Structure 1
Amino acid sequence: LYTLAVRSSDSESLRVVGSILSMLVAPEDPGAVLAALTDPRTSIVTLTITEKAYLRVAGGGLDTAHPDIAHDLANPQMPRTAHGFLAESLARRRAAGIQPFTVLCCDNLPANGATLHRLLVEFAALRGTDLARHIADEVAFPSSMVDRIVPATTDADRARIAGQLGVEDAWPVMTEPFCQWVIEDDFPAGRPAWERFGVTVVGDVGPFEDMKLRLLNGSHSAIAYLGLLCGHETVDRAFTDPAIRQFVDGLWAEAIPTLPPDAGLDTTDYTAQLAERYSN
């Protein structure tokens, strides 16, 4: 169990989440993780491991000189990296005649599905061309985009939530009301009806990534830089500065025409939500 604390500018709601039924810690028992990944009932594997864990070099390719990559190539039964776990479990499924699972990357990487696909094929090629070809041709890697601010949990957060719930939660998750999860619809083995729970399922995640990068990331950076120069300490205070707000509105007006008009993007609603988020 853990607490999800959704905080707006004037209120906070708490929800205790109990959907995680079990947990495996890969460094403690890699064999159990491989068994779960190889299980025929496993049809989708999601990754939220941070950008650093993909072990890329500056040019974007796999860091084949990384000691954990070398370890996984020499010890495929005891992997340390995500690449090692995925490649070994897919190899075992192939040998057993089990359909490959779909790999859904949820990390903040542009074209994250294609990026992980390329990295895993590169890793698998170091094990053998047959496995690399199997992953390249038979395994789906839909892209996704997640947008929700999740600030670090503080001791004050823990104390406040414990007081409200009457129980102690060592690590409640703090977040904002806004939530956007966009997923490319490429699941050969089927998928849950995520649309029922607010997920946007599309044929191409790219336009949504572009909207986030240009309208959110661009304006958020501008507010931070200009706000600091103007003596503001937080984004919400900087956003109330008329000069900064005027600049952001102008930035949005210039960026919106660069987005594809036929991708189903509601930029009016999106920028209105951004304004509300920046004020939180």
Structure 2
Amino acid sequence: MTGRSTGLATPTTGLHRSRPAPPVRIVHLGLGAFSRSHTAWYTDRAVDAEDWGIAAYTGRSAALAAALSAQDGVYTLIERSAEGDRPEVVESIVRARPGDDVAGLLADIAAPATAIVTLSITEAGYRAGADGLPDDGDPLVVADRARLAQLEAGDSDAALGLQTVLGRLVAGLDARRRGGAGALAVVSCDNIPDNGGHVARALLGLAASVPLTAEWCEQNVSFVSSSVDRITPRIEPDEMACLTERYRDAAPVVAEPFSDWVLSGDFPAGRPAWETAGARFTDQLEPWEARKLWLLNGAHTILACLGVVRGHTLVSEAIADPVCRSAVERFWDDAEPNLPRRLGIAGYRRALLARFANPRISHLLSQIAQDTTTKVRLRIVPVAERERAARRGAAGCAGALAAWLVAEDEASASVAGVRDRIERVSTSLAEDDEFVASVTRALTLAR
């Protein structure tokens, strides 16, 4: 499979398909490297891949959509291990469109053939408050509510001005209802606990501005939760230029060899045979979700906080530092008793250490460190709260919170100062005198 490209910003002919493009039956919101290393990859590897094409919409990048469009949606996934690179061409994306192509998005969601909408838009993309409902203090949410109300009143052009991802999804489902296209599944692939429930609350809350569509969604849309586990680092410009030249690909993706995808929920209009590509389906997603969120993502947060303070740039550098590794393992020691043994926690921990140490995955700590407070609340705090409820010390969690405070340059030697900062992520932990004292002591070691 050959082609030419001068780089992401100025794509030329790109790659070519080796087989006819499959019909579009999946719409993806949030096209980027992460989605292309899991959702699109699993779909391409499924035994029935010829029946399941993807129409994918970027968040903001028109350049990525242009690059992929120039090469028929085809791209190279490079699995990078210590032994070398293994390239694989992925052909499941049929259309790549910029996020502002609202008309195209509405048409794709409303199409009778569409059975699934998948999302990887990050937690911020849901624009939800602490209660999971749309944040009505967000100007974009307020504006979209007004436009959706116009839609209810019969002004179909109002949908073209929608600015939020979920606002556009509601409009697409409204068009689907009006066209009688039938039920579908919405699948969240974001690192959020109960992500299917999260998108359901936010979307139905916004759909309340279009009452008939809100009622239709409750009866015809299933919300599937999933846990995705695959490290997909951002490619820096110099490396992108090298990969573009080597693989003649304007939009390559680099990922680790390890991959895991666990899903829970119904697919009323069908789905690809993702299990033939290695995905798992379960009625109990929460343990799998917690394993990944606490052990992988929690460790990443600790490494991003403590590693940067200790002068490291990459995950592989930080995990090689005995201080950083010890902090991760002590947190894992706290997390492990709160996870079922049947998930193979000991083996997963060993695999994570090897994955983090992979010297050829250049995973920047600065990339992981974005929005650290939210990540601490989702990845560290649940373990600490469970450990304290079980009357255990939670020393590993205390060390993780101390690393966060140092990284945020908010470390205070006073118990009162520490308590105030813990209050930002957990009221119960802030009221726990013994735990607050433990975090205060750990600050000395984290500095």
Aligned-residue identity in percent: 38
Q: Could you tell me the TM-score, scaled by structure 1's length?
A: 0.86
Q: Is residue 2:173 matched to residue 1:90?
A: yes
Q: CA deviation at 1:94?
A: 3.0
Q: CA deviation at 1:275?
A: 0.9
Match of 1:114 in 2: 197
Q: Where in structure 1 are there 5+ consecutive unaligned residues?
A: none
Measured in 1, the distance between the counterparts of 2:95 and 2:301 equals: 39
Determine which of 269, 274, 277 is the counterpart of 2:352: 274
Measured in 1, the distance between the counterparts of 2:311 and 2:105 equals: 50
Amino acid paired to 1:278:
F
Query: Residues 150-169 of structure 1 correspond to what in structure 2 (within 5 A)?
Result: 150-165=232-247, 167=248, 169=249
Measured in 1, the distance between the counterparts of 2:309 and 2:166 equals: 43
SS in structure 2 opposite 1:196? helix
Q: CA deviation at 1:213?
A: 2.3
Q: Is residue 2:266 matched to residue 1:186?
A: yes
Measured in 2, the distance between the counterparts of 1:158 and 1:101 equals: 37
- Deviations along 1:29-58, one digit per CA (max 9) or x if unpaired, are x33322221111111111122322212234
Matched positions, count: 274
Amino acid paired to 2:300:
H
Determine which of 86, 92, 104 is the counterpart of 1:13: 86
Measured in 2, the distance between the counterparts of 1:189 and 1:260 equals: 33
Determine which of 129, 136, 139 is the counterpart of 1:57: 129
SS in structure 2 opposite 1:145? strand
Measured in 2, the distance between the counterparts of 1:58 and 1:223 equals: 26
- Deviations along 1:136-173, one digit per CA (max 9) or x if unpaired, are 243100111112222222222223223433x2x33321
Q: CA deviation at 1:75?
A: 4.8
Query: Residues 1-280 of structure 1 correspond to what in structure 2 (within 5 A)?
Result: 1-28=74-101, 30-64=102-136, 65-67=138-140, 68-70=143-145, 72-76=147-151, 77=156, 78-79=159-160, 80=162, 81-128=164-211, 130-165=212-247, 167=248, 169-261=249-341, 264-280=342-358
Structure 1 residues 248 and 63: CA distance shift in structure 2, 3 A? closer
Q: CA deviation at 1:224?
A: 3.8
Structure 1 residues 227 and 23: CA distance shift in structure 2, 3 A? closer
Measured in 2, the distance between the counterparts of 1:214 and 1:163 equals: 38
Structure 1 residues 271 and 96: CA distance shift in structure 2, 3 A? same
Q: Could you tell me the TM-score, scaled by structure 2's length?
A: 0.56
Amino acid paired to 1:265:
L
Measured in 2, the distance between the counterparts of 1:39 and 1:13 equals: 36
Q: CA deviation at 1:215?
A: 1.6
SS in structure 2 opposite 1:57? coil
Q: CA deviation at 1:196?
A: 0.5
Measured in 2, the distance between the counterparts of 1:229 and 1:90 equals: 47
Match of 2:420 in 1: none
Measured in 1, the distance between the counterparts of 2:319 and 2:166 equals: 42
SS in structure 1 opposite 2:254? strand
SS in structure 2 opposite 1:140? strand
Q: Is the 8 A contact 2:262 2:281 kept in 1?
A: yes
Q: Where in structure 2 are there 5+ consecutive unaligned residues?
A: 1-73, 359-447
SS in structure 2 opposite 1:104? strand
Structure 1 residues 238 and 123: CA distance shift in structure 2, 3 A? closer
Q: CA deviation at 1:124?
A: 1.4
Q: CA deviation at 1:195?
A: 0.5
Q: Which has the higher helix share?
A: 2
Measured in 1, the distance between the counterparts of 2:318 and 2:99 equals: 43
Question: RMSD between aligned alpha carbons?
Answer: 2.4
Measured in 1, the distance between the counterparts of 2:277 and 2:293 equals: 24
- Deviations along 1:201-229, one digit per CA (max 9) or x if unpaired, are 11122111211222222333333444445
Structure 1 residues 179 and 125: CA distance shift in structure 2, 3 A? same
Amino acid paired to 2:260:
Q
Amino acid paired to 1:100:
A
